[in-house]
Structure 1
């Protein structure tokens, strides 16, 4: 332990802003620089976008509801008061980020932006390194064995 007594994980940026920044960069680059678009038939692309977006919203809504029920804050720059392990948290330790990634993909698909789609792995990498790994260290430090047992049972992503 480094002697750091902050009661938050010290994430690099709010995760929604990370995803929004990469999405905006890709869409704007496609619109004003590359002129590219995804060569997908309109109806299948829209159906896939709705399915991805719907799945993302379900992940986000369930995760946020469970945080509210547990009386803890979802913002990773705020102190965590409980480990949530029910609902969607039985499937993934990071349902909010899984949900955000799904919504990002849905939006990139809906607007037909190949660069935004290509930037999704970079956004996920930034979330992984700048948010998730920091959160995991924080939760291990704060909750010890309880968090380590949860981490051993449930995958980080899906």
Structure 2
């Protein structure tokens, strides 16, 4: 019989989160060009700052995962449960970083499509990735994950 580490296939996420985010943002950008629905003047500099904060948050979480020796890809097994850094205030700081990045683009675009993209990304990440990961982490880390989930919110 194989050891659990040898048979662990991770949470089984099918579509990589960056692909989800990129596809939705591309669709929003294209729709904004084809059928603009302005909701506010484009806020280029604030949008850039917010997008940069999203990249920084995701990068910080990614660096912690790599330093801890756990694969950040959601289709791979988790080696460790990380509870430090941005994982102290969000169980999903990389995905939260994606949402903040998308919000920054929505600010830059000033278009309804950008804000719809933020909502769609949030729903897709939650339903297709986060819930799958949570079920997996409960199986993998048991009571340690349960205690962590009781202390730290899913998003913020």
- Please report the TM-score for the alignment, with normalisation by the length of structure 1: 0.88
Cα deviation, 1:39-66, whole Å, max 9, x if unaligned, reads 31x5xx1232123112212211110110
Instruction: Return the offset for 1:6.
Output: 4.8
Q: 2:72 aligns with which of 68, 71, 74?
A: 74
Kindly report the root-mean-square deviation, in angstroms, between the aligned alpha carbons of the 2 structures.
1.5
CA distance in 2, matches of 1:131, 1:73: 15
Contact 1:27 1:113 in 2 (8 A): no
Aligned counterpart, 1:22: 24
User: 2:135 is matched with which residue?
Assistant: 137
In 2, the alpha carbon distance for the partners of 1:36 and 1:153 equals 40
Q: What secondary structure does 2:90 align onto? A: coil
Q: Count how many residue pairs are aligned between Structure 1 and Structure 2.
A: 150
Task: Give 1:117 shift.
Answer: 1.6
Where in structure 2 are there 5+ consecutive unaligned residues?
1-6
The correspondence for 1:115, drawn from 108, 113, 116, is 113
3-state SS of 2:12 partner: coil
User: What is the Cα deviation at residue 105 of structure 1?
Assistant: 1.5
- Contact 1:67 1:73 (8 Å CA) reproduced: yes
- Aligned residue in 1 for 2:9: 7
Contact persistence 1:59–1:88 (CA under 8 A): yes
Structure 1: gaps spanning 5 or more residues: none
